Structure 1
Amino acid sequence: MRLPAWLSQHIAALRALLVLTVLLGLAYPLAFVAVGHLPGLSGKANGSLTSAGSTLIGQSFTDADGNPVPKYFQSRPSAAGADGYDPTATAASNLGPESVVDTADAKSLLTQVCARSLAIGKLENVDGSRPYCTADGVGAVLAVFYRDGLTGPVTRAVSVNQTGTPFVATYHGVTVEPAEDGQDYVAEGGVVTPIRGDAPAHPVVPADAVTASGSGLDPDISVAYANLQAPRIARERNLSPVRVHKLIEEHTEGRALGFLGEPAVNVLELNLALDGK
Protein backbone atom coordinates (compact mmCIF):
# COMPACT_ATOMS: atom_id res chain seq x y z
CA MET A 1 0.00 0.00 0.00
CA ARG A 2 1.44 3.35 -1.03
CA LEU A 3 1.59 5.90 1.77
CA PRO A 4 0.37 9.41 1.20
CA ALA A 5 3.14 11.85 0.19
CA TRP A 6 2.76 13.98 3.33
CA LEU A 7 3.11 10.90 5.58
CA SER A 8 6.20 9.66 3.69
CA GLN A 9 7.84 13.06 4.14
CA HIS A 10 7.17 13.07 7.88
CA ILE A 11 8.54 9.53 8.30
CA ALA A 12 11.71 10.48 6.37
CA ALA A 13 12.14 13.57 8.55
CA LEU A 14 11.71 11.48 11.71
CA ARG A 15 14.33 8.99 10.49
CA ALA A 16 16.77 11.82 9.79
CA LEU A 17 16.10 13.28 13.24
CA LEU A 18 16.79 9.95 14.95
CA VAL A 19 19.99 9.31 12.95
CA LEU A 20 21.37 12.81 13.58
CA THR A 21 20.45 12.61 17.27
CA VAL A 22 22.41 9.38 17.65
CA LEU A 23 25.40 10.67 15.65
CA LEU A 24 25.65 14.25 16.94
CA GLY A 25 23.93 13.95 20.31
CA LEU A 26 25.55 10.71 21.49
CA ALA A 27 28.38 9.33 19.33
CA TYR A 28 30.11 12.66 18.64
CA PRO A 29 30.22 13.88 22.30
CA LEU A 30 31.25 10.44 23.58
CA ALA A 31 34.06 10.28 21.03
CA PHE A 32 35.45 13.60 22.23
CA VAL A 33 35.15 12.52 25.87
CA ALA A 34 37.17 9.44 24.98
CA VAL A 35 39.80 11.52 23.19
CA GLY A 36 40.02 13.83 26.21
CA HIS A 37 41.01 10.87 28.39
CA LEU A 38 43.92 9.80 26.23
CA PRO A 39 47.33 9.94 27.97
CA GLY A 40 48.63 13.51 27.96
CA LEU A 41 45.19 15.05 27.49
CA SER A 42 43.24 13.82 30.51
CA GLY A 43 44.61 16.50 32.85
CA LYS A 44 43.54 19.38 30.64
CA ALA A 45 40.19 17.78 29.84
CA ASN A 46 39.43 17.60 33.56
CA GLY A 47 40.44 21.21 34.14
CA SER A 48 43.99 20.63 35.46
CA LEU A 49 42.79 21.35 38.98
CA THR A 50 45.13 21.69 41.93
CA SER A 51 44.52 22.51 45.58
CA ALA A 52 44.93 26.19 44.72
CA GLY A 53 43.04 26.46 41.44
CA SER A 54 43.42 25.44 37.82
CA THR A 55 46.71 25.61 35.97
CA LEU A 56 44.73 26.47 32.83
CA ILE A 57 43.19 29.66 34.26
CA GLY A 58 45.27 32.53 35.56
CA GLN A 59 44.74 34.09 38.95
CA SER A 60 46.01 37.02 40.97
CA PHE A 61 48.51 36.71 43.79
CA THR A 62 47.55 39.83 45.69
CA ASP A 63 46.41 40.78 49.18
CA ALA A 64 42.98 42.04 50.23
CA ASP A 65 43.85 45.54 49.01
CA GLY A 66 44.97 44.32 45.59
CA ASN A 67 48.67 44.77 46.27
CA PRO A 68 51.12 42.11 45.01
CA VAL A 69 52.16 39.57 47.63
CA PRO A 70 55.97 39.92 47.45
CA LYS A 71 56.81 36.25 48.03
CA TYR A 72 54.86 35.09 44.96
CA PHE A 73 55.44 35.44 41.24
CA GLN A 74 52.88 37.81 39.76
CA SER A 75 50.62 37.03 36.81
CA ARG A 76 50.05 39.34 33.87
CA PRO A 77 47.19 41.88 34.04
CA SER A 78 43.63 40.75 33.39
CA ALA A 79 40.56 42.57 32.05
CA ALA A 80 38.19 39.67 32.82
CA GLY A 81 35.71 40.97 35.36
CA ALA A 82 35.96 43.81 37.84
CA ASP A 83 38.85 42.26 39.75
CA GLY A 84 40.37 40.32 36.85
CA TYR A 85 40.63 36.59 36.15
CA ASP A 86 36.87 36.00 36.35
CA PRO A 87 36.16 32.89 34.22
CA THR A 88 32.51 33.94 33.86
CA ALA A 89 33.53 37.28 32.34
CA THR A 90 36.43 36.30 30.11
CA ALA A 91 37.22 39.26 27.86
CA ALA A 92 39.84 41.67 26.65
CA SER A 93 39.80 45.39 27.34
CA ASN A 94 38.96 46.13 23.68
CA LEU A 95 41.47 49.00 23.81
CA GLY A 96 43.90 49.21 20.90
CA PRO A 97 47.08 51.07 19.92
CA GLU A 98 45.15 54.27 19.22
CA SER A 99 43.85 54.45 22.81
CA VAL A 100 46.26 57.10 24.08
CA VAL A 101 44.01 59.85 25.51
CA ASP A 102 42.38 59.42 28.92
CA THR A 103 38.69 60.22 29.36
CA ALA A 104 36.58 61.04 32.38
CA ASP A 105 35.27 57.46 32.37
CA ALA A 106 38.39 55.41 31.71
CA LYS A 107 42.13 55.47 31.39
CA SER A 108 43.60 54.92 27.96
CA LEU A 109 45.52 51.76 27.15
CA LEU A 110 48.71 53.81 26.99
CA THR A 111 48.22 55.22 30.48
CA GLN A 112 47.36 51.77 31.85
CA VAL A 113 50.58 50.38 30.37
CA CYS A 114 52.60 53.31 31.72
CA ALA A 115 51.15 52.98 35.22
CA ARG A 116 51.70 49.22 35.32
CA SER A 117 55.27 49.53 34.10
CA LEU A 118 56.06 52.20 36.71
CA ALA A 119 54.53 50.06 39.49
CA ILE A 120 56.43 46.95 38.41
CA GLY A 121 59.64 48.95 38.20
CA LYS A 122 59.20 49.98 41.83
CA LEU A 123 58.25 46.47 42.95
CA GLU A 124 61.22 44.84 41.23
CA ASN A 125 63.64 47.74 41.83
CA VAL A 126 64.32 48.21 38.11
CA ASP A 127 63.81 50.96 35.55
CA GLY A 128 60.09 51.00 34.76
CA SER A 129 60.23 53.73 32.13
CA ARG A 130 58.79 53.18 28.65
CA PRO A 131 58.62 55.21 25.45
CA TYR A 132 55.62 57.58 25.32
CA CYS A 133 55.19 57.46 29.10
CA THR A 134 55.69 60.27 31.58
CA ALA A 135 57.78 59.95 34.74
CA ASP A 136 54.59 59.79 36.82
CA GLY A 137 53.12 56.91 34.82
CA VAL A 138 50.63 58.33 32.33
CA GLY A 139 50.64 58.57 28.57
CA ALA A 140 52.96 61.32 27.32
CA VAL A 141 50.52 62.83 24.86
CA LEU A 142 49.91 66.39 23.70
CA ALA A 143 46.97 67.93 21.91
CA VAL A 144 48.72 70.26 19.50
CA PHE A 145 46.89 73.14 17.84
CA TYR A 146 48.22 74.53 14.55
CA ARG A 147 47.45 77.88 13.03
CA ASP A 148 45.97 76.35 9.87
CA GLY A 149 44.32 73.33 11.42
CA LEU A 150 46.79 70.58 10.57
CA THR A 151 49.65 72.71 9.33
CA GLY A 152 51.40 75.94 10.10
CA PRO A 153 53.03 77.15 13.32
CA VAL A 154 52.02 75.63 16.64
CA THR A 155 49.73 77.99 18.52
CA ARG A 156 48.87 75.88 21.56
CA ALA A 157 49.81 72.58 23.22
CA VAL A 158 48.03 70.75 26.04
CA SER A 159 49.22 67.72 28.02
CA VAL A 160 45.91 65.89 27.72
CA ASN A 161 46.54 63.20 30.35
CA GLN A 162 47.82 65.50 33.09
CA THR A 163 45.94 68.06 35.16
CA GLY A 164 49.09 68.95 37.10
CA THR A 165 52.49 70.11 35.89
CA PRO A 166 52.96 68.95 32.27
CA PHE A 167 55.67 66.37 31.58
CA VAL A 168 57.32 68.80 29.14
CA ALA A 169 57.53 72.58 29.55
CA THR A 170 57.39 73.67 25.91
CA TYR A 171 56.63 72.24 22.49
CA HIS A 172 57.92 74.00 19.36
CA GLY A 173 58.41 77.16 21.38
CA VAL A 174 54.90 77.15 22.90
CA THR A 175 54.33 76.66 26.63
CA VAL A 176 52.54 73.38 27.31
CA GLU A 177 49.34 73.70 29.36
CA PRO A 178 47.94 71.12 31.80
CA ALA A 179 44.59 69.62 30.90
CA GLU A 180 41.37 70.75 32.52
CA ASP A 181 38.80 68.21 33.68
CA GLY A 182 35.99 67.65 31.22
CA GLN A 183 37.70 69.30 28.27
CA ASP A 184 37.83 67.43 24.94
CA TYR A 185 40.84 68.97 23.26
CA VAL A 186 40.69 66.62 20.29
CA ALA A 187 37.12 67.73 19.52
CA GLU A 188 38.35 71.32 19.73
CA GLY A 189 40.84 70.69 16.93
CA GLY A 190 43.91 69.50 18.81
CA VAL A 191 46.07 66.96 16.99
CA VAL A 192 46.94 63.96 19.18
CA THR A 193 50.74 63.86 19.39
CA PRO A 194 52.47 61.17 21.50
CA ILE A 195 55.93 62.19 22.71
CA ARG A 196 58.49 59.41 22.80
CA GLY A 197 60.75 60.78 25.53
CA ASP A 198 64.18 59.39 26.43
CA ALA A 199 63.15 55.94 27.72
CA PRO A 200 65.12 52.97 26.33
CA ALA A 201 63.87 51.45 23.08
CA HIS A 202 63.68 48.05 24.78
CA PRO A 203 62.10 48.54 28.23
CA VAL A 204 63.30 46.48 31.17
CA VAL A 205 59.71 45.53 32.03
CA PRO A 206 58.49 43.09 29.31
CA ALA A 207 55.29 43.64 27.35
CA ASP A 208 53.31 40.77 28.88
CA ALA A 209 53.81 42.30 32.33
CA VAL A 210 51.85 45.41 31.36
CA THR A 211 49.23 44.12 28.89
CA ALA A 212 46.31 41.75 29.41
CA SER A 213 45.73 38.70 27.25
CA GLY A 214 42.80 38.43 24.86
CA SER A 215 40.91 36.11 27.20
CA GLY A 216 42.02 37.78 30.42
CA LEU A 217 42.67 34.28 31.80
CA ASP A 218 46.22 33.59 30.59
CA PRO A 219 47.88 31.37 33.23
CA ASP A 220 51.38 31.92 31.86
CA ILE A 221 53.98 34.67 31.77
CA SER A 222 57.05 35.05 29.61
CA VAL A 223 60.40 33.71 30.74
CA ALA A 224 61.65 37.31 30.72
CA TYR A 225 58.96 38.41 33.18
CA ALA A 226 59.63 35.43 35.43
CA ASN A 227 63.36 36.18 35.44
CA LEU A 228 62.63 39.83 36.24
CA GLN A 229 60.78 38.73 39.39
CA ALA A 230 63.38 36.15 40.46
CA PRO A 231 65.57 38.50 42.59
CA ARG A 232 62.53 39.60 44.63
CA ILE A 233 61.39 36.01 45.16
CA ALA A 234 64.88 34.96 46.24
CA ARG A 235 65.07 37.86 48.68
CA GLU A 236 61.58 37.39 50.15
CA ARG A 237 61.98 33.62 50.60
CA ASN A 238 65.64 33.64 51.57
CA LEU A 239 66.51 31.41 48.62
CA SER A 240 69.53 31.50 46.38
CA PRO A 241 68.95 33.12 42.96
CA VAL A 242 70.27 29.92 41.37
CA ARG A 243 67.51 27.90 43.06
CA VAL A 244 64.80 30.31 41.91
CA HIS A 245 66.03 30.30 38.31
CA LYS A 246 66.16 26.51 38.42
CA LEU A 247 62.50 26.42 39.42
CA ILE A 248 61.68 28.77 36.56
CA GLU A 249 63.42 26.46 34.12
CA GLU A 250 61.58 23.43 35.50
CA HIS A 251 58.21 25.12 34.97
CA THR A 252 58.89 26.59 31.54
CA GLU A 253 56.86 25.13 28.70
CA GLY A 254 58.34 25.17 25.21
CA ARG A 255 56.72 26.41 22.02
CA ALA A 256 53.56 24.59 20.96
CA LEU A 257 54.44 21.88 18.44
CA GLY A 258 58.01 23.08 18.73
CA PHE A 259 57.56 26.26 16.69
CA LEU A 260 54.35 28.10 17.65
CA GLY A 261 54.48 30.99 20.10
CA GLU A 262 57.15 31.56 22.73
CA PRO A 263 58.25 29.58 25.81
CA ALA A 264 56.06 30.39 28.81
CA VAL A 265 56.04 29.84 32.57
CA ASN A 266 52.92 28.65 34.39
CA VAL A 267 52.55 31.02 37.35
CA LEU A 268 50.38 28.81 39.57
CA GLU A 269 52.61 25.76 39.16
CA LEU A 270 55.69 27.86 39.88
CA ASN A 271 54.20 29.38 43.03
CA LEU A 272 53.04 25.97 44.25
CA ALA A 273 56.58 24.70 43.75
CA LEU A 274 57.87 27.59 45.84
CA ASP A 275 55.46 26.62 48.62
CA GLY A 276 56.56 23.01 48.34
CA LYS A 277 53.11 21.78 47.28
Structure 2
Amino acid sequence: MRMSTWIRQHVAALRALLVLTAITGIVYPLVVFAVAQLPGLHDKAEGSLITVDGKTVGSSIIGQSFTDKDGNALVQYFQSRPSAAGDGYDPLSTAASNLGPESIVDTLDGDPANVKPSLLSTVCSRSKAVADREGVDGSRPFCTKDGVGAVLSVIGPRDADGEVSQPVQVVSVNEACPTTPFLNTYRGVKVECAKPGEDYSVGRIVPIYGDASTDTPVPTDAVTASGSGLDPHISPEYAAIQVARIAQARNISEDQVRALIDAHTDGRTLGFLGEPRINVVELNLELDSKYPFRS
Protein backbone atom coordinates (compact mmCIF):
# COMPACT_ATOMS: atom_id res chain seq x y z
CA MET A 1 0.00 0.00 0.00
CA ARG A 2 1.37 3.40 -0.98
CA MET A 3 1.88 5.98 1.78
CA SER A 4 -0.58 8.43 0.15
CA THR A 5 -3.39 5.82 0.23
CA TRP A 6 -2.65 5.07 3.90
CA ILE A 7 -2.81 8.78 4.72
CA ARG A 8 -6.08 9.28 2.83
CA GLN A 9 -7.73 6.39 4.72
CA HIS A 10 -6.66 7.73 8.09
CA VAL A 11 -7.72 11.26 7.22
CA ALA A 12 -11.16 9.91 6.19
CA ALA A 13 -11.42 7.98 9.45
CA LEU A 14 -10.47 11.09 11.42
CA ARG A 15 -13.14 13.12 9.62
CA ALA A 16 -15.76 10.48 10.37
CA LEU A 17 -14.71 10.50 14.03
CA LEU A 18 -14.98 14.28 14.27
CA VAL A 19 -18.36 14.39 12.50
CA LEU A 20 -19.87 11.62 14.64
CA THR A 21 -18.43 13.17 17.79
CA ALA A 22 -20.03 16.50 16.91
CA ILE A 23 -23.41 14.87 16.12
CA THR A 24 -23.65 12.42 19.03
CA GLY A 25 -21.64 14.35 21.60
CA ILE A 26 -22.77 17.92 20.97
CA VAL A 27 -25.71 18.33 18.58
CA TYR A 28 -27.85 15.43 19.87
CA PRO A 29 -27.50 16.33 23.59
CA LEU A 30 -28.30 19.97 22.80
CA VAL A 31 -31.42 18.99 20.84
CA VAL A 32 -32.60 16.73 23.67
CA PHE A 33 -31.95 19.50 26.21
CA ALA A 34 -33.84 22.02 24.08
CA VAL A 35 -36.84 19.71 23.65
CA ALA A 36 -36.88 19.09 27.41
CA GLN A 37 -37.37 22.82 27.98
CA LEU A 38 -40.66 22.89 26.06
CA PRO A 39 -43.81 23.63 28.09
CA GLY A 40 -45.26 20.40 29.45
CA LEU A 41 -41.94 18.58 29.31
CA HIS A 42 -39.72 20.78 31.49
CA ASP A 43 -41.03 19.55 34.85
CA LYS A 44 -40.69 15.91 33.80
CA ALA A 45 -37.15 16.51 32.56
CA GLU A 46 -36.26 18.04 35.93
CA GLY A 47 -37.43 14.90 37.77
CA SER A 48 -41.15 15.66 38.29
CA LEU A 49 -40.27 17.34 41.58
CA ILE A 50 -42.99 18.26 44.07
CA THR A 51 -42.57 21.49 46.03
CA VAL A 52 -44.54 22.78 49.01
CA ASP A 53 -44.02 26.38 50.11
CA GLY A 54 -40.93 26.56 47.92
CA LYS A 55 -39.37 23.45 49.46
CA THR A 56 -38.83 20.25 47.47
CA VAL A 57 -40.56 17.39 49.29
CA GLY A 58 -40.27 14.58 46.77
CA SER A 59 -40.99 13.46 43.25
CA SER A 60 -44.26 12.33 41.74
CA ILE A 61 -42.48 9.40 40.04
CA ILE A 62 -40.61 8.10 43.12
CA GLY A 63 -42.44 6.64 46.10
CA GLN A 64 -41.69 7.27 49.76
CA SER A 65 -41.98 5.26 52.97
CA PHE A 66 -44.40 6.82 55.43
CA THR A 67 -42.92 5.23 58.54
CA ASP A 68 -41.17 6.32 61.72
CA LYS A 69 -37.47 5.83 62.49
CA ASP A 70 -38.17 2.25 63.58
CA GLY A 71 -39.98 1.37 60.37
CA ASN A 72 -43.45 1.41 61.91
CA ALA A 73 -46.29 2.75 59.76
CA LEU A 74 -47.41 6.30 60.59
CA VAL A 75 -51.12 5.97 61.28
CA GLN A 76 -52.04 9.33 59.73
CA TYR A 77 -50.74 8.45 56.27
CA PHE A 78 -51.68 6.11 53.47
CA GLN A 79 -49.00 3.45 53.27
CA SER A 80 -47.05 2.77 50.10
CA ARG A 81 -46.42 -0.68 48.68
CA PRO A 82 -43.30 -2.49 49.94
CA SER A 83 -39.95 -1.58 48.40
CA ALA A 84 -36.81 -3.68 47.86
CA ALA A 85 -34.70 -0.64 46.92
CA GLY A 86 -32.13 -0.26 49.69
CA ASP A 87 -33.84 0.57 52.96
CA GLY A 88 -36.94 1.47 50.94
CA TYR A 89 -37.45 3.73 47.94
CA ASP A 90 -33.74 4.52 47.60
CA PRO A 91 -33.20 5.81 44.01
CA LEU A 92 -29.52 4.87 44.26
CA SER A 93 -30.38 1.24 45.01
CA THR A 94 -33.31 0.62 42.70
CA ALA A 95 -33.87 -3.12 42.50
CA ALA A 96 -36.29 -5.98 42.94
CA SER A 97 -35.91 -8.77 45.50
CA ASN A 98 -35.10 -11.32 42.75
CA LEU A 99 -37.20 -13.90 44.63
CA GLY A 100 -39.47 -16.07 42.48
CA PRO A 101 -42.51 -18.31 43.00
CA GLU A 102 -40.31 -21.27 43.95
CA SER A 103 -38.94 -19.38 46.96
CA ILE A 104 -41.07 -21.02 49.67
CA VAL A 105 -38.56 -22.31 52.26
CA ASP A 106 -36.99 -19.93 54.78
CA THR A 107 -33.35 -20.12 55.80
CA LEU A 108 -33.52 -20.50 59.58
CA ASP A 109 -30.70 -19.74 61.97
CA GLY A 110 -30.29 -19.85 65.72
CA ASP A 111 -30.16 -16.06 65.67
CA PRO A 112 -33.54 -14.63 64.58
CA ALA A 113 -31.70 -11.67 63.04
CA ASN A 114 -30.10 -14.04 60.52
CA VAL A 115 -33.33 -15.61 59.30
CA LYS A 116 -33.74 -15.18 55.54
CA PRO A 117 -37.43 -15.39 54.71
CA SER A 118 -38.60 -16.86 51.44
CA LEU A 119 -40.86 -14.90 49.10
CA LEU A 120 -43.82 -16.90 50.41
CA SER A 121 -43.12 -16.06 54.06
CA THR A 122 -42.42 -12.43 53.13
CA VAL A 123 -45.85 -12.18 51.49
CA CYS A 124 -47.50 -13.96 54.43
CA SER A 125 -45.89 -11.71 57.05
CA ARG A 126 -46.72 -8.55 55.13
CA SER A 127 -50.32 -9.64 54.70
CA LYS A 128 -50.65 -10.27 58.43
CA ALA A 129 -49.05 -6.91 59.28
CA VAL A 130 -51.38 -5.01 56.93
CA ALA A 131 -54.40 -6.91 58.25
CA ASP A 132 -53.50 -6.19 61.88
CA ARG A 133 -53.00 -2.50 61.08
CA GLU A 134 -56.18 -2.05 59.04
CA GLY A 135 -58.48 -4.39 60.94
CA VAL A 136 -59.20 -6.76 58.04
CA ASP A 137 -58.70 -10.45 57.37
CA GLY A 138 -55.19 -11.01 56.02
CA SER A 139 -55.26 -14.79 55.74
CA ARG A 140 -54.01 -16.17 52.42
CA PRO A 141 -53.61 -19.62 50.89
CA PHE A 142 -50.30 -21.30 51.80
CA CYS A 143 -49.85 -19.01 54.83
CA THR A 144 -50.04 -19.88 58.52
CA LYS A 145 -52.04 -17.77 60.96
CA ASP A 146 -48.73 -16.47 62.35
CA GLY A 147 -47.67 -15.10 58.98
CA VAL A 148 -45.14 -17.56 57.56
CA GLY A 149 -45.27 -19.95 54.66
CA ALA A 150 -47.23 -23.13 55.42
CA VAL A 151 -44.68 -25.59 54.04
CA LEU A 152 -43.81 -29.12 55.13
CA SER A 153 -40.83 -31.36 54.49
CA VAL A 154 -42.22 -34.89 54.24
CA ILE A 155 -39.44 -37.41 54.84
CA GLY A 156 -39.66 -41.10 54.05
CA PRO A 157 -39.21 -43.72 51.32
CA ARG A 158 -40.40 -42.65 47.87
CA ASP A 159 -42.16 -44.48 45.08
CA ALA A 160 -41.27 -44.46 41.38
CA ASP A 161 -43.00 -41.09 40.93
CA GLY A 162 -41.00 -39.45 43.71
CA GLU A 163 -43.93 -39.33 46.11
CA VAL A 164 -43.35 -40.25 49.74
CA SER A 165 -45.20 -43.53 50.13
CA GLN A 166 -45.07 -43.67 53.92
CA PRO A 167 -43.86 -40.58 55.84
CA VAL A 168 -41.58 -41.26 58.80
CA GLN A 169 -40.99 -37.62 59.71
CA VAL A 170 -42.82 -34.38 58.84
CA VAL A 171 -41.34 -30.96 59.58
CA SER A 172 -42.88 -27.50 59.26
CA VAL A 173 -39.76 -25.99 57.69
CA ASN A 174 -40.64 -22.32 58.22
CA GLU A 175 -41.55 -22.59 61.90
CA ALA A 176 -38.46 -22.67 64.10
CA CYS A 177 -38.57 -24.52 67.40
CA PRO A 178 -40.03 -24.13 69.96
CA THR A 179 -42.97 -22.85 67.84
CA THR A 180 -46.01 -25.11 67.75
CA PRO A 181 -46.52 -26.14 64.09
CA PHE A 182 -49.61 -24.94 62.24
CA LEU A 183 -50.65 -28.61 61.68
CA ASN A 184 -50.80 -31.29 64.35
CA THR A 185 -50.42 -34.24 62.01
CA TYR A 186 -49.91 -34.95 58.32
CA ARG A 187 -50.91 -38.32 56.90
CA GLY A 188 -50.93 -39.77 60.39
CA VAL A 189 -47.47 -38.46 61.36
CA LYS A 190 -46.98 -35.76 64.00
CA VAL A 191 -45.68 -32.51 62.50
CA GLU A 192 -42.49 -31.20 64.13
CA CYS A 193 -41.09 -27.68 64.31
CA ALA A 194 -37.85 -26.98 62.43
CA LYS A 195 -34.54 -27.01 64.24
CA PRO A 196 -32.52 -23.97 63.13
CA GLY A 197 -29.55 -24.95 61.00
CA GLU A 198 -30.98 -28.36 60.07
CA ASP A 199 -31.29 -29.29 56.39
CA TYR A 200 -34.67 -30.78 55.54
CA SER A 201 -34.23 -30.79 51.76
CA VAL A 202 -34.02 -34.61 51.86
CA GLY A 203 -37.80 -34.62 52.26
CA ARG A 204 -40.42 -33.76 49.69
CA ILE A 205 -41.32 -30.08 50.08
CA VAL A 206 -45.10 -29.75 50.27
CA PRO A 207 -46.86 -26.36 50.49
CA ILE A 208 -50.21 -26.60 52.28
CA TYR A 209 -53.06 -24.64 50.69
CA GLY A 210 -55.14 -24.31 53.85
CA ASP A 211 -58.71 -23.04 54.06
CA ALA A 212 -58.13 -19.32 53.41
CA SER A 213 -59.96 -17.69 50.51
CA THR A 214 -58.09 -16.36 47.49
CA ASP A 215 -60.38 -13.32 47.67
CA THR A 216 -58.43 -11.66 50.48
CA PRO A 217 -59.10 -8.00 51.41
CA VAL A 218 -55.32 -7.39 51.39
CA PRO A 219 -54.46 -6.86 47.70
CA THR A 220 -51.32 -8.03 45.94
CA ASP A 221 -49.67 -4.60 45.78
CA ALA A 222 -49.82 -4.38 49.58
CA VAL A 223 -47.55 -7.41 49.98
CA THR A 224 -45.24 -7.35 46.94
CA ALA A 225 -42.62 -4.82 45.82
CA SER A 226 -42.44 -3.37 42.34
CA GLY A 227 -39.65 -4.32 39.95
CA SER A 228 -37.86 -1.01 40.48
CA GLY A 229 -38.68 -0.63 44.17
CA LEU A 230 -39.66 2.99 43.42
CA ASP A 231 -43.31 2.73 42.32
CA PRO A 232 -45.24 5.63 43.94
CA HIS A 233 -48.65 4.09 43.21
CA ILE A 234 -51.02 1.78 45.04
CA SER A 235 -54.27 0.22 43.89
CA PRO A 236 -57.68 1.67 44.82
CA GLU A 237 -58.29 -1.60 46.72
CA TYR A 238 -55.26 -1.01 48.95
CA ALA A 239 -56.28 2.60 49.53
CA ALA A 240 -59.83 1.52 50.42
CA ILE A 241 -58.82 -0.67 53.35
CA GLN A 242 -56.81 2.25 54.82
CA VAL A 243 -59.72 4.70 54.87
CA ALA A 244 -61.00 3.96 58.38
CA ARG A 245 -57.55 4.32 59.96
CA ILE A 246 -56.83 7.60 58.17
CA ALA A 247 -60.21 9.06 59.08
CA GLN A 248 -59.81 8.16 62.75
CA ALA A 249 -56.23 9.45 62.95
CA ARG A 250 -57.12 12.81 61.39
CA ASN A 251 -60.54 13.10 63.04
CA ILE A 252 -62.41 13.44 59.75
CA SER A 253 -65.15 11.43 58.10
CA GLU A 254 -64.49 8.41 55.92
CA ASP A 255 -66.40 10.11 53.11
CA GLN A 256 -63.89 12.97 53.17
CA VAL A 257 -61.04 10.50 52.82
CA ARG A 258 -62.78 8.64 50.00
CA ALA A 259 -63.34 11.92 48.16
CA LEU A 260 -59.58 12.54 48.17
CA ILE A 261 -58.95 8.99 46.95
CA ASP A 262 -61.37 9.50 44.06
CA ALA A 263 -59.69 12.79 43.15
CA HIS A 264 -56.27 11.12 43.00
CA THR A 265 -57.29 7.93 41.19
CA ASP A 266 -55.89 7.70 37.66
CA GLY A 267 -57.52 5.36 35.17
CA ARG A 268 -55.85 2.97 32.76
CA THR A 269 -53.33 4.59 30.44
CA LEU A 270 -54.99 5.30 27.08
CA GLY A 271 -58.05 3.61 28.52
CA PHE A 272 -56.75 0.06 28.29
CA LEU A 273 -53.14 -0.17 29.52
CA GLY A 274 -52.39 -1.13 33.13
CA GLU A 275 -54.76 -0.76 36.05
CA PRO A 276 -56.31 2.18 37.95
CA ARG A 277 -53.79 3.59 40.42
CA ILE A 278 -53.26 6.24 43.08
CA ASN A 279 -50.12 8.28 43.65
CA VAL A 280 -49.53 7.90 47.41
CA VAL A 281 -47.05 10.78 47.69
CA GLU A 282 -49.46 13.28 46.14
CA LEU A 283 -52.41 11.89 48.09
CA ASN A 284 -50.64 12.20 51.44
CA LEU A 285 -49.51 15.75 50.63
CA GLU A 286 -53.10 16.79 49.97
CA LEU A 287 -54.18 15.08 53.18
CA ASP A 288 -51.70 17.22 55.10
CA SER A 289 -52.86 20.33 53.23
CA LYS A 290 -56.61 19.85 53.73
CA TYR A 291 -56.77 17.89 56.97
CA PRO A 292 -53.61 18.46 59.06
CA PHE A 293 -52.79 15.76 61.56
CA ARG A 294 -52.85 16.76 65.22
CA SER A 295 -51.33 14.24 67.59
Shorter-chain TM-score category? over 0.9
How big is the shift at 1:23? 1.5
1-side partners of 2:31 and 2:82: how far apart?
37
1-side partners of 2:271 and 2:13: how far apart?
48
How big is the shift at 1:32? 2.3
- Matched with 2:7 is 7
Structure 2: stretches of 5+ with no match in the other structure: 51-55, 109-114, 291-295
Taking structure 2 as the reference length, what is the TM-score of the superposition? 0.89
Query: What does residue range 94-133 of structure 1 map to in structure 2 within 5 Å?
Result: 94-104=98-108, 105-133=115-143
- Matched with 1:80 is 85
How big is the shift at 1:24? 1.1
User: Does the 8 Å CA contact 1:44/1:56 hold for their aligned counterparts?
Assistant: no
Residue among 89, 92, 99 paired with 2:96? 92
- Matched with 1:167 is 182
2-side partners of 1:72 and 1:212: how far apart?
19
Large movers: runs of 4+ above 4 Å: none
1-side partners of 2:30 and 2:268: how far apart?
30
Which residue identity lines up with residue 178 of structure 1 in the other structure?
A: C
1:49-98 C-alpha deviation (Å, 9 max, x unpaired): 123211111110001111000000111101111x1111111100000001
Structure 1: stretches of 5+ with no match in the other structure: none
- Matched with 1:226 is 239
- Matched with 2:111 is none
- Matched with 2:45 is 45
- Matched with 2:75 is 70
Secondary structure of the 1:276 match is helix
1:107-140 C-alpha deviation (Å, 9 max, x unpaired): 1011111111001001101111111110111000
Distance 1:16 1:32, change over 3 A: same
Which residue identity lines up with residue 57 of structure 1 in the other structure?
A: I
Distance 1:57 1:99, change over 3 A: same
Which residue identity lines up with residue 100 of structure 1 in the other structure?
A: I
Which residue identity lines up with residue 24 of structure 2 in the other structure?
A: L
RMSD: 1.6
How big is the shift at 1:36? 2.8
- Is 1:28 the counterpart of 2:24? The answer is no
How many residues align structurally?
A: 273
1-side partners of 2:281 and 2:180: how far apart?
42
2-side partners of 1:5 and 1:229: how far apart?
76
Residue among 157, 162, 185 paired with 1:147? 157
How big is the shift at 1:10? 1.5
- Matched with 1:180 is 195
2-side partners of 1:232 and 1:43: how far apart?
34
User: Does the 8 Å CA contact 1:101/1:107 hold for their aligned counterparts?
Assistant: yes
How big is the shift at 1:3? 7.4
- Matched with 2:203 is 190
1-side partners of 2:211 and 2:85: how far apart?
33
1:174-201 C-alpha deviation (Å, 9 max, x unpaired): 1101100101101xx2111110111111
- Matched with 1:238 is 251
- Matched with 2:63 is 58
2-side partners of 1:107 and 1:63: how far apart?
23
**Identity rate, percent:** 60
How big is the shift at 1:241? 1.3
Which residue identity lines up with residue 117 of structure 2 in the other structure?
A: K
2-side partners of 1:220 and 1:41: how far apart?
21
Deviates more, 1:143-152 or 1:260-269: 143-152
Residue among 273, 285, 290 paired with 1:260? 273
1-side partners of 2:273 and 2:32: how far apart?
24
- Is 1:273 the counterpart of 2:277? The answer is no
Taking structure 1 as the reference length, what is the TM-score of the superposition? 0.94
Secondary structure of the 2:278 match is strand
